[in-house]
Amino acid sequence: MTELSGWGRFPRVDCRVVTARNEADVRAAVLEAPLIARGNGRAYGDAALNAGQTLDMTGMDRMLSFDEGVLVAEAGVLLSDIIHTFLPRGWFPMVTPGTKLVSLGGAIAADVHGKNHHIDGSFRSCVDWIDLMGPDEVVTRVSTGDDMFDWTNGGMGLTGVILRAQIRLRRVETSWIVQESRALTSLADTIAAFEDTMDVPYSVAWIDCADGPHHGHSILLLGRHAVPQDLPMRKPEFKVRHKPKIPVPFGVPAFVFKGFMLRMLNSAYWRLGKFRAGEALVDWDTYFYPLDGLLNWNRLYGKRGFVQFQCALPKDTASEGMEEIMRTIAASGEGSVLSVLKRFGPQSGHFSFPMAGYTLAMDFPANERSLALMEQLDAITLAHKGRFYLAKDARMPEAVAKADSRAEAFAAMRAKAGLKKRFTSVQSERLGL
């Protein structure tokens, strides 16, 4: 037994971990006992935990073919591996989350979104087909148009084990990003700025939630892939190397995440951002993966770990709903160190998280008070017709998850297809999926 957790280190569960290195290993595991597949453990909560059998897919990490941007690879390959292999040849993932340390299977299962959702959609938009092992150990190739393709993208590993997939990469002319940063002083300004920049490929705002909506300082980062003409003389078009990681000490005193300190931290970040506002040329790693440079930063919150709250609100209720969320957080005195606001394009797939509107993601230390606060945020989200991101969830009650009518449909499909008995996670049990 191995004590396992998601990236938030909460909850922790003793799991029997089995590693798959090839299809035969997966088959043996599927026949052996109910299980959940696990990628690189970057989901925050309990989505990739199963006490009876957790199938570690990182041993299946072979890239099988590549032709003009079309890659066939096993599910355990990490996005970082794909980037290090193909960026020097002029290719970059079509969609990437805020960390490159996710597996291909994990990216598909959570149907991850990037800073370009409003233009390119979620990860599924670059997936051609998926080889999926079902409960009867039969491998089916599902592709665009198949019902099971729609359920699997965003299905959190609950439709079967993803063995391999074909995805398309994006042509890029350099490994650099032209970044424009703007310092804004309220939530309303931030949303207005997002609306004004719909044609910019990448956008994300770091927003200060602890300060209430009207003072909701934010730094909006806009980006596009640089072309050779953007580069100063002698800058290499492609620079891709492993950066050394900076270790983070274990645990930081709790007061840092509270009240005055937190406000100081956020305000310092904002001032720094304001100071640096304007256009800059940044490398791909810094732009897309600012946190990956810090090794084990998830340990910052100490032994008890942390919980992320991420909701999406439809466009017409987003500003009102987000304001209420931020007001509630400010009033509680609990706070999220840095919160991320992104714009979403239309929904796709049967059970994926994104919906046309806005999404807000925040970290909270795992303690009674912030769990209580999150229950308030649940209610606000539901009142504004929003939904929650399962890849970040560690604590939702079943009723909240089921308020999304798609959850009921997903559970019914799972029961009917015989998936419920084979593929289960601590999360799926908790949410009654």
Ligand X SMILES: Cc1cc2nc3c(=O)[nH]c(=O)nc-3n(C[C@H](O)[C@H](O)[C@H](O)COP(=O)(O)OP(=O)(O)OC[C@H]3O[C@@H](n4cnc5c(N)ncnc54)[C@H](O)[C@@H]3O)c2cc1C
Residues lying near another protein in the complex (CB under 8 A) are found at 18-19, 21-22, 59, 62-66, 71, 73-74, 85
Concatenating the DSSP letter of every residue in 174-198 gives -SEEEEEEEEESSHHHHHHHHHHTT
- Which of ligand X, another protein, none interacts with 360 (beta carbon under 5 to 8 A by kind)? none
Question: For 245, which DSSP code?
Answer: P
3-class DSSP state for residue 340? Answer: strand
266 lines the binding site for ligand X (CB under 6 A): no
Quick one: what does residue 18 bind among another protein, ligand X, none, with the CB cut-off 5 to 8 Å set by partner type? another protein
The footprint of ligand X on this chain (CB under 6 A) covers a number of residues equal to 33
Please choose, from the candidates 346, 377, 317, the residue with its C-alpha nearest in 3D space to the C-alpha of residue 191. 317
The residue among 43, 48, 179, 188 whose CA lies nearest residue 115 is 179
Closer of 173 and 283 to ligand X (Cβ): 283
At 433, is the secondary structure helix, strand, or coil? coil
Geometric angle at alpha carbon 49, from 4 and 403, rounded to 5°: 135
Does residue 389 contact residue 362 with C-beta atoms inside 8 Å? no
Shortest distance, position 233 Cβ to ligand X, whole Å: 34
Site for ligand X in 25-84 (CB under 6 A): 36-43, 47-48, 57, 75
Name the amino acid, one letter, at 375. Answer: E
- Between CA 331 and CA 325 the distance in angstroms is 10
CB of 113 to ligand X, least distance (A): 4
Find the part of the chain contacting ligand X (CB under 6 A) among 85-93, 109-117, 191-199, 225-233: 109-117
Residue of 5, 103, 218, 266 that binds ligand X (CB under 6 A): 103
User: Should residue 106 be labelled a site residue for ligand X when binding is judged by CB under 6 A?
Assistant: yes
Residue 289 has phi, psi (to 5 degrees) of -130, 55
> Using an 8 Å Cβ cutoff, are 173 and 227 in contact?
yes
| Span interacting with ligand X, options 110-118, 274-282, 377-385, 411-419, rule CB under 6 A | 110-118
Report yes or no: 423 and 158 within 8 Å, Cβ to Cβ: yes
Q: Which stretch binds ligand X (CB under 6 A): 96-104, 142-150, 277-285, 376-384?
A: 96-104
Distances (CA, A) of 130 to 98, 275, 357, 417, 420: 23, 46, 28, 18, 20
Determine, following the binding rule CB under 6 A, whether residue 127 of this chain makes contact with ligand X. no
Distance CA 161, CA 60 (A): 12
How far apart CA 158 and CA 16 sit, in angstroms, is: 18
Binding partner at 36 among another protein, ligand X, none, C-beta below 5 to 8 Å by kind: ligand X
Nearer Cβ to ligand X, position 5 or 381?
A: 5
Contact between 222 and ligand X per CB under 6 A: no
Tell me which residues in 396-425 interact with ligand X (CB under 6 A). Answer: 425
CB of 352 to another protein, least distance (A): 29
Which residues of this protein are in contact with ligand X, per CB under 6 A?
Answer: 6-7, 36-43, 47-48, 57, 75, 97-99, 102-103, 105-107, 109-110, 112-113, 156-157, 161-162, 291, 391, 425
